[in-house]
Amino acid sequence: MVSTAAVMPGEIPKYGTLIAPQLNAPIHQHIFNVRMDMTVDGPNNSVYEVDIVPEEDDANPYGNAFYAQSTLLPTEQAAKRLIDPMKGRYWKIVNPEKTNAMGYPTAYKLIPGENTLPLARSGASVIKRATYMTQHLWVTPYSPDEKFPAGDYPNQHPGGVGLPQWTEADRPIENTDLVVWHTFAHSHSPRAEDWPVMPVATIGFSLKPLNFFDENPANDVPPSPKNHGSKSACCS
Ligand SMILES: [Cu+2]
């Protein structure tokens, strides 16, 4: 249910929506971070950023060539990244020591879904306490003490802990046991239809195999039993 506050008669709130007479539902953000202790085909992995980009003009006389450009993210600072939907950006977590049948390193791709950035200013207390919100991707080497992106006790903390503190060391993350952190957010400007009870809303991302298998793994599924689903087999 949306959080609400009263306003004066006739007042039109700038920072929210009137969802009932004199009742303001303030605009707000939902920001999530998921910690993924990756093990793609073995404990040691590397992360690449992939952008789909057009070929340079001199190698592209008809103007229609484009390709997937992979860039290794070798350290923690290099792996602080933002989405770029215009480039179809995704990140792939590869095992550099394993290959599929075509010789590509086995990998999974992290495909962002709906996303945005926090709208609080950089000096705001919420940004200091939850600096993880300012990047959509963080990658760290595995450490058993590093479980929560804003540290263990963010609510009353002056800030600066968690991901921003750990990644200051700029540790190497190439071909090692690593953790991928993905931030995703929705800016919620309430609407009449959110009152009095909101419909379900969803947000998320995808993890898909990327040259992890040698072909579509569904091709290896055994055929259905001969009479599967027929009336004579199940119901007569
Ligand atoms: Cu909301």
Domain count, the chain: 1
Confidence class for position 208, pLDDT limits 50, 70, 90: very high
d(CA 214, CA 218): 11
DSSP 203-235: --EEEEEES-SSS-GGGGSPPPPTTTT-HHHHT
Q: Is 158 exposed, middle or buried (0-12, 13-18, 19+ CB in 10 A)?
A: exposed
Domain assignment present for residue 103? The answer is yes
Determine the distance separating the centroid of ligand 1 and the alpha carbon of 31, expressed in angstroms. Answer: 10
Average pLDDT over residues 1-25: 97
Flag whether pLDDT at 234 surpasses 80: no
d(CA 100, CA 90): 20
Confidence class for position 233, pLDDT limits 50, 70, 90: low
Determine the distance separating the centroid of ligand 1 and the alpha carbon of 160, expressed in angstroms. Answer: 26
Domain assignment present for residue 227? The answer is no
Confidence class for position 225, pLDDT limits 50, 70, 90: confident
Q: What is the pTM of this model?
A: 0.92
CATH number for position 69 = 2.70.98.20
Domain assignment present for residue 71? The answer is yes
Domain assignment present for residue 155? The answer is yes
Confidence class for position 51, pLDDT limits 50, 70, 90: very high
Domain assignment present for residue 223? The answer is no
Determine the distance separating the centroid of ligand 1 and the alpha carbon of 223, expressed in angstroms. Answer: 45
Domain of residue 183 covers 5-216
Determine the distance separating the centroid of ligand 1 and the alpha carbon of 189, expressed in angstroms. Answer: 7
Domain assignment present for residue 31? The answer is yes
Domain assignment present for residue 46? The answer is yes
Domain assignment present for residue 58? The answer is yes
Flag whether pLDDT at 232 surpasses 60: no
Determine the distance separating the centroid of ligand 1 and the alpha carbon of 149, expressed in angstroms. Answer: 21
Q: Could you report the per-residue pLDDT of 87-132, keeping only the tens digit for each?
A: 999 999 999 999 999 999 999 999 999 999 999 999 999 999 999 9
Average pLDDT over residues 154-165: 93
Determine the distance separating the centroid of ligand 1 and the alpha carbon of 137, expressed in angstroms. Answer: 23
Determine the distance separating the centroid of ligand 1 and the alpha carbon of 186, expressed in angstroms. Answer: 8
